Chains A and B, each alone.
Chain A
Amino acid sequence: MSQSKIKFSCRDVRVAYSGKEALHGIDIEIEDQGVTAFIGPSGCGKSSFLRVFNRMNDTIPGCKVTGIVKMDGEDIYAPTLDPVLLRARVGMVFQKPNPFPKSIYDNVAYGPRIHGLAANKAELDEIVESSLTKAGLWDEVKDRLKDGGTGLSGGQQQRLVIARTIAVSPEVILMDEPASALDPIATAKLEELIDELSKKFCIVIVTHSMAQAARISDRTAFFHMGNLIEYDQTSNIFTNPTDSRTQDYITGRIG
């Protein structure tokens, strides 16, 4: 593995829904640099695990996370830690684009507003513009910032959500199958964007498409039935898996 800094380190992480365990003790270290992909058959617990990093599981009634999760060496499940602050630092993009029922501008400005990141309107404008630019959406929407965000196409919506996320200046962006609701062209554009973003942010992405994982990720973790089976450089996972289940999965025999 590369010598990059460790962003997250997890020790025996278990996630249970109303007492039913979905993840059975995951140990993993996620590097700051590049893109980490989670793959595995559906229902194996990728999303559940992704939500561990920004404590979104807290918002699900009956969901319980145990084990140790450290971000930059700091326990993010410590009672003193504020999930609100954590989520500002760890952004998330969902499977289905979920722009707010507001204008494009207000969608992006929402985060900076609640966190007080802009001292005045000019600063806010600047944040909005730069975020939309970084998300590759600025040219498409700069003339209709006051229009509703829900009026955009699916791919545009997803990039709007990404712009909204980076407007808060997170350190990490979690993505849960961000391209699964998009057509191939929008997907290609999104993958390009992810590649671009990975230069500035630590990115963890869940995907059900192995081709996608192969294209965009630096490291890949394979999950199966709530267990982490294999975690390695993406090239190794795809060319030379050590576990037979990984082998079966990437060759399409399970999942």
Chain B
Amino acid sequence: MSSSPSIHASERALKRLKKRHARERRFKVMGLSAIAIAVMALIWLLYSVIGTGYKAFYTHSFTLDVEMTESVLDPTGARDPDALRKSNYRRIVQNAMYERFPDVTDRKAKKELFDIISTSGAPNHLRQMAYNDPSIIGQSFTITVPTSDDVDQLLKGNIDRDLDESRRKVSDRQIAWVDQLMETGEIKSGFNKGFFVNPDSRDAELAGIATAFLGSLMTLFVTALMAIPVGIGAAIWLDEFAPRNRFVDFIEININNLAAVPSIIFGVLGLAIFINFFGLPRSIPIVGGLVLGLRALPTVIIATRATLMAVPQSIRDGALSIGASHVQAVFHHKLPHAGPGILTGSIIAMAQALGETAPLLMIGMVAFLTEVPNSPTDPATVLPVQIYIWSSNAERAWVEKTSAAIMILLLVLILINGFAIWLRNRLEKRW
């Protein structure tokens, strides 16, 4: 028998074995590299977003003494609110700035000086104050308003002071003024509340995500209202009541396919059906929510079915055996057991819907909106679309804003998904 040494112990075989082990190690390294590539891509992405985005959460503001000169704002003294809307608040801000730096006389220098402050933000701030309380006209007080985005960027260290003046966005003079104002504390850095409460704006220092955030909330509300009940209903029918026939097979295949249809197609559907055919207005959360609802529907159905199928048949059968009807057995006994799983699946589907962009572009939720929506029938946009709109601006200040909006979006997604996972771990039964 094995008195002769095994062929596996020959020199040739051992040499070959060495090679085989080397191949084995290479293979393993390939696997590890694949994981490393994916993880590094993730880290790079997060780093590039957070690395620029975090700076948008603080900003610089300018505290300035203004005099609401009556002769400029309301020469007639009528205090007519409509007229006050159109008054020249820009002049007031300019005067205040010139007052602060009395030795600036040159026209060009004056313009540069004014450009330190948010040139539309400051006047608009005064306009709003005067509109709210016309009695302030004629008085003097201090206001705190954003600096221009260029000054903000300068102070955040994103503009190279050593660069030739012609090649940077802030002049030497402006740098000198800003430094002086920083020293006196008239320009201060602080939390950027405006980013959260302002609607979109043409000026980077004023733009905020309020419109998009509310729009996302309303859209998602409609989506949930549509996709979750309908999805659960469909799943229950398919799982419990559907007869086994060709048509039901077709429905199941259809649902699986629908889940893999590119989301932009759902946008085209929404455009053709809701807007072109039914004549609903563009850009509103109701339409957006319905489109995303159809998009999320197959996902909810598939998740719910998976959960329902995991519930042991014995639970339903037990109910049937004590005289419950089929509908009662399903709704009173089976469904409660599947509840946590369905909830988790639905939440994850909603998180996916929250990140959708393309279908909403199709139904026009891409408008530039400077007002916050009050109801799902007001024009709105959503966070991902806001990111899309902003991403076409190459200026540093905008990139910062866009990254910050992404951070908010990702944070919300993490919270939602984290909640779903927590819920699953806590509530889900293992059979």
Q: Do chains A and B touch in the complex (CB under 8 A)?
A: yes
Interface size class of B (residues with CB under 8 A): 10 to 19
Kindly state whether residue B321 has any CB partner on chain A within 8 Å.
no
Residue on B with the closest CB to A71?
A: B2
Chain A interface residues (CB < 8 Å from chain B): 7, 32-33, 72, 82, 84-85, 88-89, 114-117, 169, 171, 200-202
Residue on A with the closest CB to B8?
A: A88
User: Pick the contact of B1 from A32, A88, A89, A117 — CB < 8 Å?
Assistant: A32
Residues of chain B from 1 to 55 with CB closer than 8 A to chain A in the complex: 1-2, 6-9, 12-13, 16-17, 20-21
Q: Check B13–A115 contact: CB distance below 8 A.
A: yes
Query: In the complex, what residues of A have CB within 8 A of residue B13's CB?
Result: 115-116
Given contacts A89-B6, A169-B7, A171-B6, contact A84 B17 (CB under 8 A): yes
Q: Check A200–B8 contact: CB distance below 8 A.
A: no
SS of A interface (majority): loop
Query: In the complex, what residues of B have CB within 8 A of residue A116's CB?
Result: 12-13, 16
Q: Check B16–A202 contact: CB distance below 8 A.
A: no
Q: Check A84–B21 contact: CB distance below 8 A.
A: yes
Q: Check B1–A114 contact: CB distance below 8 A.
A: no
Query: In the complex, what residues of A have CB within 8 A of residue B21's CB?
Result: 82, 84
User: Pick the contact of B6 from A7, A33, A82, A169 — CB < 8 Å?
Assistant: A169
Residue on A with the closest CB to B7?
A: A169
Residue on B with the closest CB to A201?
A: B1
* Interchain residue pairs with CB less than 8 A apart (22): A7-B2, A32-B1, A33-B1, A82-B21, A84-B17, A84-B20, A85-B8, A85-B9, A85-B17, A88-B8, A89-B6, A89-B8, A115-B8, A115-B13, A117-B7, A169-B7, A171-B1, A171-B2, A171-B6, A200-B1, A201-B1, A202-B2
Closest CB of chain B to A35's CB: distance in Å?
Answer: 13
Chain B interface residues (CB < 8 Å from chain A): 1-2, 6-9, 12-13, 16-17, 20-21
Query: In the complex, what residues of B have CB within 8 A of residue A84's CB?
Result: 17, 20-21
Residue on B with the closest CB to A117?
A: B7
Query: Once the chains are docked, how many angstroms separate the CA of A201 from the CA of B21?
Result: 28
Residue on A with the closest CB to B24?
A: A84
Residue on B with the closest CB to A82?
A: B17
Closest CB of chain A to B328's CB: distance in Å?
Answer: 43
Q: Check B20–A114 contact: CB distance below 8 A.
A: yes
Query: Once the chains are docked, how many angstroms separate the CA of A201 from the CA of B2?
Result: 8
Residue on A with the closest CB to B19?
A: A116
Query: Once the chains are docked, how many angstroms separate the CA of A82 from the CA of B16?
Result: 13
Query: In the complex, what residues of B have CB within 8 A of residue A72's CB?
Result: 2
Query: In the complex, what residues of A have CB within 8 A of residue B12's CB?
Result: 116
Query: In the complex, what residues of A have CB within 8 A of residue B1's CB?
Result: 32-33, 171, 200-202
Query: Once the chains are docked, how many angstroms separate the CA of A104 from the CA of B389?
Result: 61
Query: Once the chains are docked, how many angstroms separate the CA of A202 from the CA of B7?
Result: 16
Query: In the complex, what residues of B have CB within 8 A of residue A201's CB?
Result: 1
Query: Once the chains are docked, how many angstroms separate the CA of A170 from the CA of B12?
Result: 17
Residue on B with the closest CB to A172?
A: B2
Query: Once the chains are docked, how many angstroms separate the CA of A202 from the CA of B3?
Result: 12
Closest CB of chain A to B341's CB: distance in Å?
Answer: 28
Residue on B with the closest CB to A199?
A: B1
Given contacts A84-B21, A116-B13, contact A32 B2 (CB under 8 A): yes
Known: A33-B1, A85-B8, A200-B1. 18 other contacts (CB 8 A): A82-B21, A84-B17, A85-B9, A85-B17, A88-B6, A88-B8, A114-B20, A115-B8, A115-B16, A116-B12, A116-B13, A116-B16, A169-B6, A169-B7, A171-B2, A171-B6, A201-B1, A202-B2
Closest CB of chain B to A47's CB: distance in Å?
Answer: 24
Query: In the complex, what residues of A have CB within 8 A of residue B17's CB?
Result: 82, 84-85
Query: In the complex, what residues of A have CB within 8 A of residue B2's CB?
Result: 7, 32, 72, 171, 202
Closest CB of chain B to A127's CB: distance in Å?
Answer: 11
Closest CB of chain A to B136's CB: distance in Å?
Answer: 75
Query: In the complex, what residues of B have CB within 8 A of residue A171's CB?
Result: 1-2, 6
Query: In the complex, what residues of B have CB within 8 A of residue A200's CB?
Result: 1
Query: Once the chains are docked, how many angstroms separate the CA of A169 from the CA of B16?
Result: 16
List 3 A-B pairs, minimum CB-CB distance, nearest first. Answer: A171-B2, A88-B8, A116-B16
Closest CB of chain A to B8's CB: distance in Å?
Answer: 5
Query: In the complex, what residues of A have CB within 8 A of residue B16's CB?
Result: 115-116
Residue on A with the closest CB to B2?
A: A171
Closest CB of chain A to B5's CB: distance in Å?
Answer: 10
Most chain A beta-carbon contacts within 10 A, residue among B1, B6, B13, B16: B1
Query: In the complex, what residues of B have CB within 8 A of residue A89's CB?
Result: 6, 8
Query: Once the chains are docked, how many angstroms separate the CA of A209 from the CA of B72?
Result: 109
Query: Once the chains are docked, how many angstroms separate the CA of A171 from the CA of B8?
Result: 10
